[in-house]
């Protein structure tokens, strides 16, 4: 693969002298309706009164910031090595592509985090005897394996108010898993084939995108990653390892001294214990260490990417950068502690349990109303509760699969609060006009 093709240089022109096509991608994402909804979607912890706990929106903004740094630093060296790119693109463009894709990386996640994804999948698995016969094998695999990455790709390409019309390089950098849900060859242990990145409804659209960028094909409808997708993944990995630990410490789930030790292992020789303890505020101590750890991980990830550039362009390198950098073992220790003390804390488990109950309840109410050949009175009432644009899309759907996809766009697009409110109403827990 060649950078000139991967960046689709000839098509990146706008009528605005001060704003490139890649700048426009960033602006469209940040002003989009799906992106704004991330402010009320769980990251790890439920949304308490503490202003230092991250939600999906603050997480996405931080990932985008890290992604911009990764992209710019890589771009500077790539431009030095690739004279053909000079004058056509600059290091800032690399940074904006990665920042934009990073900004959108969680845009397809349903309410209640990963438990929301699992709840959607489990609903269809449990109801397979009733529902499966209405779908093709590929369509059914999509439904029993709901995937936030594929949902995000769908949202970024939908028509209407969500039709962002992003550039191909940004969409490709967004796609960590360039394959459909059902494949003949899983290409283990390739990282890029671990999950899937698009649904059957977007398969041909995805094929056109990768063709325009000349991505290397592995098999039918399976490709290697766009190189910048490795940087988007690294930005996300860096943030959730380092910042989730900070949240865990601030919430009292991980001890202060243990947090300092974990950050210090990543920072290495730059860690100065005496200088740290001159700072009185323990929260400020952790904040400074978090910043130093992120900076170190950015540096290591950029160095690895540049060392492996030829392998990445050939499609031979296929691992998460943070699984190969020198700090990998230290990140694994942070992950171990996070799983034990943060991700399995009572409040996190409570929000996961609520997510399963709420999502299952919503699907149980609305799926029969959408595809039942003989809807009951209750089905008809539930159907009328759907938004007008969702009902219009369902009624115009050519197949049951597309109708269900429209319904899942609505349900997965709900915020945590919206989902809880709607669940209470359809189950009778809450009635209009009453507390």
Statement to judge: residues 172 and 272 lie in one domain:
no
pLDDT at 300: 96
Statement to judge: residues 194 and 238 lie in one domain:
no
pLDDT at 92: 93
pLDDT at 428: 77
pLDDT tens for each residue of 336-346: 998 888 877 77
Statement to judge: residues 78 and 199 lie in one domain:
yes
Residue 174's domain spans which residues?
3-109+142-227
Q: How far apart are CA 215 and CA 178, in angstroms?
A: 10
- Closest of 177, 56, 62 to residue 107, by C-alpha: 56
Name the residue with tokens 């509760």: 385
* 330 neighbors 99 (Cβ within 8 angstroms): no
Q: How far apart are CA 424 and CA 408, in angstroms?
A: 19
Going by pLDDT thresholds of 50, 70 and 90, the confidence category of residue 433 is: low
The domain spanning residue 398 has which CATH number?
1.10.3550.10
* 197 neighbors 154 (Cβ within 8 angstroms): no
Statement to judge: residues 60 and 201 lie in one domain:
yes
Q: How far apart are CA 94 and CA 75, in angstroms?
A: 5
**End position of a domain, from candidates 343, 378, 400:** 343
pLDDT tens for each residue of 71-93: 999 999 999 999 888 888 899 99
Statement to judge: residues 281 and 409 lie in one domain:
no
pTM score of the predicted model: 0.91
**End position of a domain, from candidates 199, 227, 255:** 227
pLDDT at 265: 92
Going by pLDDT thresholds of 50, 70 and 90, the confidence category of residue 368 is: very high
pLDDT at 330: 93
Going by pLDDT thresholds of 50, 70 and 90, the confidence category of residue 273 is: confident
The domain spanning residue 152 has which CATH number?
1.10.3210.10
pLDDT at 413: 92
Statement to judge: residues 218 and 146 lie in one domain:
yes
Statement to judge: residues 201 and 60 lie in one domain:
yes
pLDDT at 17: 61
Highest mean pLDDT among 33-37, 100-104, 184-188, 378-382: 100-104
DSSP state of 385: T
Statement to judge: residues 183 and 199 lie in one domain:
yes
- Closest of 27, 13, 81, 157 to residue 312, by C-alpha: 81
Q: How far apart are CA 131 and CA 128, in angstroms?
A: 5
pLDDT at 184: 86
Strand partners, 219: 222
371-381 in b/e burial notation, b at 16+ Cβ within 10 A?
beeeeeeebee
Please tell me whether residue 102 adopts helix, strand or coil conformation.
helix
DSSP state of 224: P
Q: How far apart are CA 179 and CA 50, in angstroms?
A: 39
Tokens for 248, please give them: 């865990």
145-168 in b/e burial notation, b at 16+ Cβ within 10 A?
bbbbbbbbbbbbbbeeebebebbb
Residues 6+ apart with CB under 8 A from 18: none
Other CB atoms within a 10 A radius of the CB of residue 410 amount to 18
DSSP state of 56: H
pLDDT tens for each residue of 319-342: 999 999 999 999 999 999 988 888
pLDDT at 16: 54
pLDDT at 430: 63
Per-chain mean pLDDT for the chain: 89
pLDDT at 38: 86
Q: Given a cut of 80, is residue 163 above it in pLDDT?
A: no
Q: Given a cut of 50, is residue 51 above it in pLDDT?
A: no
Statement to judge: residues 82 and 171 lie in one domain:
yes
**End position of a domain, from candidates 166, 194, 227:** 227
pLDDT at 187: 86
Q: How many domains does the chain have?
A: 3
Q: How far apart are CA 314 and CA 310, in angstroms?
A: 6
The domain spanning residue 240 has which CATH number?
1.10.3410.10
Please tell me whether residue 429 adopts helix, strand or coil conformation.
coil
pLDDT tens for each residue of 375-420: 899 989 989 999 999 999 999 999 999 999 999 999 999 998 899 8
Statement to judge: residues 310 and 375 lie in one domain:
no
Statement to judge: residues 276 and 364 lie in one domain:
no
pLDDT at 15: 52
Q: How far apart are CA 303 and CA 74, in angstroms?
A: 8
Helical segments of 268-343, H only: 273-276, 282-307, 309-314, 328-338
For the residues 172-176, what does the mean pLDDT come to?
A: 97
Statement to judge: residues 264 and 156 lie in one domain:
no
């Amino acid at each position: 693969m060649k950078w000139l093709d991967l960046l689709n240089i000839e098509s990146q022109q706008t009528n605005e002298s001060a704003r490139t096509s890649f700048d426009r991608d960033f602006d469209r994402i940040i002003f989009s309706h799906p992106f704004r909804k991330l402010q009320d979607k769980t990251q790890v912890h439920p949304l308490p009164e503490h202003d230092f706990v991250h939600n999906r929106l603050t997480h996405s903004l931080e990932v985008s910031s890290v992604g911009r740094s990764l992209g710019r630093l890589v771009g500077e060296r790539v431009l030095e090595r690739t004279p053909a790119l000079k004058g056509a693109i600059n290091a800032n463009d690399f940074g904006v592509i990665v920042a934009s894709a990073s900004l959108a990386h969680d845009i397809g996640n349903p309410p209640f985090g990963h438990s929301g994804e699992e709840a959607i999948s489990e609903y269809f698995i449990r109801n397979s005897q009733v529902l499966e016969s209405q779908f093709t094998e590929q369509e059914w695999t999509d439904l029993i394996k709901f995937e936030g990455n594929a949902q995000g790709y769908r949202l970024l390409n939908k028509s209407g108010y969500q039709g962002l019309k992003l550039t191909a390089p940004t969409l490709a950098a967004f796609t960590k898993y360039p394959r459909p849900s059902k494949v003949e060859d899983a290409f283990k242990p390739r990282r890029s084939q671990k999950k899937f990145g698009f649904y059957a409804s977007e398969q041909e659209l995805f094929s056109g995108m990768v063709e325009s960028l000349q991505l290397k094909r592995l098999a039918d409808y399976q490709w290697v990653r766009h190189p910048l997708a490795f940087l988007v993944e690294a930005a996300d990995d860096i943030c959730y390892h380092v910042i989730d630990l900070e949240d865990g410490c601030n919430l009292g789930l991980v001890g202060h001294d243990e947090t300092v030790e974990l950050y210090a292992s990543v920072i290495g020789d730059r860690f100065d214990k005496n200088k740290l303890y001159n700072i009185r505020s323990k929260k400020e101590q952790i904040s400074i260490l978090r910043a130093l750890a992120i900076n170190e991980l950015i540096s290591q990830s950029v160095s690895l990417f540049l060392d492996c550039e030829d392998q990445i362009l050939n499609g031979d390198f296929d691992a998460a950068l943070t699984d190969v950098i020198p700090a990998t073992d230290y990140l694994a220790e942070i992950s171990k502690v996070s799983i034990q003390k943060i991700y399995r804390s009572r409040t996190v488990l409570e929000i996961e349990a609520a997510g399963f109950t709420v999502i299952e309840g919503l699907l149980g109410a609305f799926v029969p109303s959408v595809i039942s050949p003989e809807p009951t009175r209750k089905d008809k009432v539930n159907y009328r509760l759907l938004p007008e644009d969702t009902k219009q899309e369902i009624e115009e759907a050519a197949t049951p699969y597309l109708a269900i996809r429209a319904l899942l766009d609505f349900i997965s697009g709900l915020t945590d609060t919206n989902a809880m409110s709607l669940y209470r109403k359809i189950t009778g827990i809450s009635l209009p006009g009453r507390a």
